[in-house]
Amino acid sequence: MLGQSSLMLPRLFFVSGEASISVECLTAKHDARLVHQASGGCAVVDRSSMSIPLESPLHPQLQPQPQSQPQPQPQPQPQPQSQRNPPKRRAERDNELLPLLQGPSIEINVGIGDEQACWSIPVALATKHSEYLRDTVCNHVQENPSIPFKVALADRDAAIFRVFVQWLYFGSIPSQSGLDMMSTGNDVSPSFLLWTLGDFLKADAFKDRIMRRLYSAYSLDVNYHPLDFMRLSWAEVDYCWRHTTLNSKLRIFIIDILSHHITFGNYIDINETSGWYKLLIKHLELQLQLISKIAGSSYLFTKSVTDIPGVDKYLEAT
């Protein structure tokens, strides 16, 4: 007895100038086999099965014997909220935070015009979590020790920087719905703006916190809804490629997301007037990395094709 199931992967075609590459359809097959047949009783198992007991009136000895059920063990009662770990973690954070609030402060001006915001953040707190601010403070102290220290971030969004300040003081960020409600004046998700802010500030712990949020939101589209829709937009990819370096963790994450979506047949419009087409022409290295990723992972139908890697792949070494 043989059962088969097939999953057809789409034919892919990318064009850049006169260069082209195609990845043919792949078929994944899984079979089952007959392992026993005797006097009216039979069992079929697949490769992962261990054994299935046979039931036959001619072979009563093969009938499963009743077994005594183990007595249920009493389950521990859940502890009240006041006895769980979060309060302890908050206390530990408070003990770490309070000394950092002492001493001089940095004046940080974010944005321009009516959207500008000014923050006064203790030097010890800011420099602990941002390598960029730490280097800037050191250079300022050496060159102008008597002048009050100020930092201008005119090209950054004040609402986005406020999330970074919230994380500095409280170790938390808004919920996904809270981030989605933020008005940033463009078509890019606030999570991408936050990650690139952390990258600019060289705040690896903050970047990892945002990456976990990105991973939860975008990888689920692939792992649980592979043929549904793609949340990622060409405008977001364009923004990330303009604000990150070649081997950044965010670029690696986006390449993995896009390659999985395309492999499983999610439609991306790449006619000459579409945003995706213009994006791939504008960022040739993105097109080449995407083609290489799909071609390199599609030889065998394996877990590396069907699942996005774990989030640790996209975290900094913190």
pLDDT, one tens digit per residue, over 203-235 is: 999 999 999 999 988 876 565 554 455 678 899
Res. 309 pLDDT band, cuts 50 70 90 = confident
- Average pLDDT of 244-265? 87
Convert the pLDDT of each residue in 130-166 to its tens digit: 999 999 988 877 777 667 788 999 999 999 999 999 9
- Which of the residue ranges 27-41, 50-64, 272-286 has the most confident prediction, judged by mean pLDDT? 272-286
Q: Which residues pair with 42 in a beta bridge?
A: 37
pLDDT of residue 192: 95
- Average pLDDT of 26-51? 37
pTM, two decimals, is 0.68
Convert the pLDDT of each residue in 73-94 to its tens digit: 655 555 444 444 444 577 777 7
Could you give the dihedral angle defined by the CA atoms of residues 195, 200, 206 and 211, in that order, rounded to the nearest 10 degrees? 30
- Average pLDDT of 174-183? 80
pLDDT of residue 314: 94
CA 160 from centroid of its chain's CA atoms: 19
Convert the pLDDT of each residue in 110-134 to its tens digit: 998 888 999 999 999 999 999 999 9
What is the C-alpha to C-alpha distance for residues 290 and 287, in angstroms, rounded to an integer? 5
- Which of the residue ranges 22-31, 98-107, 256-265 has the most confident prediction, judged by mean pLDDT? 98-107
pLDDT > 90? residue 201: yes
**Domain regions of the chain by residue span:** 103-178, 186-317
In terms of pLDDT, which residue wins out, 64 or 181? 181
> Thinking of the domain 103-178, which architecture would CATH place it in?
2-Layer Sandwich (3.30)
- Average pLDDT of 52-57? 40
pLDDT > 80? residue 168: yes
Q: Are 309 and 297 within 8 A, CB to CB?
A: no
**Mean pLDDT for the chain?**
73
pLDDT > 60? residue 24: no
Spatial CA neighbour of 223 closest among 306, 138, 281, 100: 306
Could you give the dihedral angle defined by the CA atoms of residues 210, 211, 213 and 218, in that order, rounded to the nearest 10 degrees? 140
What is the C-alpha to C-alpha distance for residues 298 and 142, in angstroms, rounded to an integer? 55
- DSSP, res 115: G
